Amino acid sequence: MTTRLLVAALLVMVLQATAGAQALRVAPYLAGLDQPVGLVTDPSDDHRQFVIEKPGRIRLVVDGVLQVDPILDLTTEVAPDGEQGLLGLAVDPQFATTGRIWINFTRRPDGATVIARFTRAAGTPFRFDHATRHDLRFSVSPERRFIPQPAANHNGGKLLFDSEGFLLVAMGDGGGGNDTFRTAQDANSLLGKILRLDVGVPDVRDAPLQLREDAERGYRIPPGNPFVDGIPIPARAEIWAFGVRNPWRVTLDAPALGGTGALLIGDVGQSAREEVDYEPAGLGGRNYGWPMREGTLATAGAPSDVSAAFLPLVHPIHDYPRADGITVIGGYIYRGRLLGAGFQGRYVFGDLADRLRSVRITVDEGGAVTADDVRDHTSEVGGLTGSLVSIDADAHGELYLVFLSGNIQRVTTATDGDGDGIDDAWASRFGLSGLGAAARGPFGDPDGDGITNAREYRRGSHPRGGPVANFGEGAEGFFATRFGLLNDRDTAEPVLIRFLRAGAGEVATEVVIPARRSLAVDGSAIPGLANQAFATVLEAATPLAVTRTMTWPATGQAYGSHSERGIPTPRTSWYFAEGATTAFQLFFLLGNPSTSTAHVQVDYLRQGAAAVSRTYDVPASSRLTIWVNQEPGLDRAELGAVVASLNGVAITAERAMYTRGGPTMFAAGHAAAGEPAPATRWVFAEGSTTPYFQTFLSIINPGDAPLPVQADVRLQDGSTTAAPLHFTRVVAPRARATLWLNREVSDEGVALAGQQGVSVELSAAGTFVAERAMWWPGESATWYEAHASAGFIEAPRPSWRLPGGELSPDAGGGEPDVQTYVLIANVAPTAEAVAVTVYFTDREPVAQTIQVPGNSRVSIALSDLLTALGAMPATRAHVGVTVAAASPAAQLYAEQATYGSTTHQRWARGSNNKGSP
């Protein structure tokens, strides 16, 4: 099986686990509640949820466990009978800072609706302070901190924040039949409406004079409310929408989960139809037609003295006869993961008759909304009992059924055998199934990264490990991107790969690297990456060696490539020594894997000129490309760069450089990851000064004083085994210098030109950054390719891992079309016996031991090594390599270089990467 087919098979297995619409089931979540009517998740902490109990209590749930004591008890003030009670709760989106909630209840003794604000009490236990209560004022003369209710039914009750952060209040028509009190079309009544309020006002005691009135009222009018200017009619400015009967539950299609920000309104019918209304994000000022219309039908017995406050009347997207179910309680557009891709975008809803349904919601390019493919899931889940009064969603978009009889159930699937809301296969694949109940459950955090298993499952990240490799660059289209992964252990390793697309959101996939195998993951095999630029994060439970190789063009014979090992951890600063906009197109690629925008400054350190600084924003979970040639003052320059995140958001950074001009796009080029900090020592295992290669070392000195840098040179020809050669060069402050090794002469008088293999160690008393670039063939006029890499700042070690190698034998038996070399530098005077092991995608590894003299370096052509072992692949193959000395005291460095030929050019493309520890 080829590597590409192996990867495709792995991806298919992963995607099949969540594809399609799964068969639904329900699982117990909470029991022993007193008439629950809602479940609300704390937006600041997904370990916490709040249960609304109709008699007047709010209960706290921590990690799925109901706490004994209520955190707010208003049972002496709430009128709880019939449709009355504590009906709604909204938690401030900034709850971590404000500690505020708003509740909706009908009060004793008159049943009026009260919207009250409470603030969390300081310290522990978690509770809300009665002394902070502030009832919103809806009338000044007479003063009313309530909304009068003329009857005991049709109170609505839902509170929620919309996508702009404003509080929505769902108000019924005041009760009776056929809008007895004529409220739903009355522009001066708050009943029969959806209200929208800006509750981000200070407490009265903290309010400055100019905000005192808003603070006293408890809200201000959002400037975008539809009736603030009297158009289309004069109406109370709090009103967002007209013409609802009893909007018991209103929900938001959550943008944070990929939703549109639309509102879905479950409006309880009278005697003919139950209806669901759809309101696109921000589109207020609608009239949903009650009491003239019930669902899509004209209301039988509609009051003749009531006409529409304004037209048009907006049809529901879905309605159904009461013979099919009574008292719609609304629901959510599904944006979770557990129910499968087939449920994405479906509105899952129910009614008080204990029925569970879903309907497909489609929005076309013109904004037209349709609802079709209605499915009844009641029998599928084994039937429901207990008076279904609410369907609620957690922070991850997973759904819960709330029953007035006292229990809450989780909506899940047969793939979730233990009913914890996480797919069993996913849990097993990432090793959760072997952990204790608390650690493996949805609220567990076995890797201690502060992200629950449920959130890891939702976002597609690794629950038992963090990032092991980060890449700032990646693209599909003109480029083809491939990731090489090496698992030299005796157990399989699951890996989560997250692709942060530039301006297009994040996609993720999961692969498993079998034990003692190499694996290549092609970007073209990942859904959602076609014609995309992206940064990449790979996550695993144990350290992993990963490289990324980009070749171009993606179709036909590739004439360009570059490769880089993964950055272990995003950081707030990165350094680059190499860069030029003279004969090159220069790009910096910044990846931001966090959930916050990164504010970045780049200091461009020009050779022979003053430094230039620029600032940029890198959006969350995205990538930014900086085309340096287009920056004012930076075209036709040779430069290094220092990249710094100004607001502490960690990022990744890479540099790509391609030749400019000529008939061939990006005829040659190279790339390198940034280095996290300057160092006093940099080591390069690779280098050649034969006439075929030109090798350059670029050095930046970020300090304020001139810096002498010493080069220790070790040669492959054996002439430096006794001691390396030396020379010293001075680098100006905050500037860059270039060493052209082919033209350097050591202090011992040895010209470095003509050397097949050169390893260089640079050192100084102060810190600096160094990179190496190799161009070929010959002099600059004939160059058509290059590769580059920063030096090692790690200490020498006895072993290194080198994933991402490639081999392709020549059909005629000549030099391989694609060849990979392993370059080993020994910086100690003692010779070492070194085992070179080659790992394949589809068979056991093979190994050969070689001798590496002291103060020297060796170059190993993998095709020669494998041919000698009788293990050379007959067709193109992707391999990984480990280099391990017999002595634990060995002082080695290892790099890898891969070259590919076309029918017209030998080594038309080439790439290089450092080994990983």
- For 698-736, the pLDDT digits (tens) are 999 999 999 999 999 999 999 999 999 999 999 999 888
In DSSP terms, 839 is beta-bridged to 880
Return the CATH class of domain 679-790. mainly beta
Give the model's confidence band at 814: pLDDT under 50 very low, under 70 low, under 90 confident, else very high: confident
* pLDDT over threshold 80, residue 4: no
pLDDT band at residue 3 under the 50/70/90 scheme: very low
Residue-wise pLDDT for 30-59, tens only, equals: 999 999 999 999 999 989 999 999 999 999
Cβ neighbours around 864 below 10 Å, total: 13
The yes or no reply on domain 798-917 and CATH 2.60.290.11 is yes
The confidence score (pLDDT) of residue 174 equals 97
Is the pLDDT score of 115 beyond 60?
Answer: yes
pLDDT for residue 272: 95
- In this predicted structure, the answer to whether residue 258 has a pLDDT above a threshold of 90 is no
Q: Is the pLDDT of residue 17 over 70?
A: no
d(CA 374, CA 307): 33
State mean pLDDT over 525-539: 93
pLDDT at 524: 95
Q: Give the count of alpha carbons within 13 A of 264, CB side only.
A: 31
User: Which distant-in-sequence residues (6+ apart) come within 8 Å of 428 by Cβ?
Assistant: none
Structural class in CATH, domain 150-320: mainly beta
pLDDT at 883: 98
Q: Is the pLDDT of residue 902 over 90?
A: yes
DSSP state of 533: B
The residue among 516, 463, 523, 480 whose CA lies nearest residue 499 is 523
- Bond into 125 cis (ω within 30): yes
> In the chain, pLDDT over 70 holds for what percent of residues?
98
Per-residue pLDDT band at 7 (split at 50, 70, 90):
very low
DSSP state of 733: T
pLDDT at 8 over 60: no
Higher local confidence (pLDDT), 868 or 439:
868
Whether the per-residue pLDDT at 915 is higher than 90: the answer is yes
Q: Which residues, 6+ apart, have CB-to-CB distance to 795 below 8 Å?
A: none
**Distance in angstroms (rounded) separating the CA atoms of residues 709 and 614:** 29
Q: How confident is the model at residue 459 (pLDDT cuts 50, 70, 90)?
A: confident
The mean pLDDT of 871-880, rounded to a whole number, is: 95
pLDDT at 236 over 50: yes
Mean pLDDT of the residues in the chain? 93
Is 60 exceeded by the pLDDT of residue 838?
yes
Q: Is pLDDT at 504 greater than 90 in this prediction?
A: no
- For residue 21, what pLDDT is reported? 62
Would you report the helix, strand and coil content of the chain in percent, each value rounded to 5?
10, 45, 45
Alpha carbon 46 to its chain centroid, in Å, reads 17
Per-residue pLDDT reduced to its tens digit, 635-645: 889 998 999 99
Q: What is the DSSP code (8-state) at residue 797?
A: B
Q: pLDDT by residue (tens digit) across 193-232?
A: 999 999 999 999 999 999 999 999 999 999 999 999 988 8
Give the pLDDT band of residue 262 (cuts 50, 70, 90).
very high
Q: Categorize the per-residue pLDDT at 125 as very low, low, confident or very high, splitting at 50, 70 and 90.
A: confident
Report whether pLDDT(176) > 50. yes
Using one digit for the tens of pLDDT, what is the confidence trace for 610-622? Answer: 889 999 999 988 8
What's the token pair of residue 664?
A: 């061939």
SS3 state at 449? coil
Domain segments of the chain as ranges? 150-320, 679-790, 798-917
Residues 668, 152: Cα–Cα separation, whole Å: 78
Convert the pLDDT of each residue in 339-398 to its tens digit: 998 999 999 999 999 999 999 999 988 888 999 999 999 999 999 999 999 999 999 999
On the question of pLDDT at 11 being above 70, the answer is no
Residue 617 DSSP code: E
**Mean pLDDT, residues 74-82:** 97
Of the segments 156-165, 501-510, 628-637, which one has the largest average pLDDT value? 156-165
**pLDDT score, position 172:** 98
| Inter-residue contact 882 to 855 (CB < 8 Å) | no
Contact 383, 416 (CB under 8 A): no
C-alpha 307/C-alpha 356 separation (Å) is 35
pLDDT number for residue 465: 80
What is the sign of the dihedral through the CA atoms of 528, 529, 533 and 536?
positive
Whether the per-residue pLDDT at 476 is higher than 90: the answer is: yes
Work out the number of other CB atoms within 10 angstroms of the CB of residue 170.
29
One fold for both 679-790 and 798-917? yes
Confidence of residue 798 (pLDDT cuts 50, 70, 90): very high
For the chain, percent of residues with pLDDT exceeding 90: 83
Asked if the bond preceding 142 is cis, omega within 30° of 0, the reply is yes
Other CB atoms within 10 Å distance of the CB of residue 444: 22
User: Is the model more confident about 299 or about 734?
Assistant: 299
Return the pLDDT at 810.
85
Closest CA to 71 of 46, 43, 98, 48: 48
572 phi/psi in degrees, rounded to 5: -95, -5
Question: Which of the two residues, 865 and 736, has the higher pLDDT score?
Answer: 865
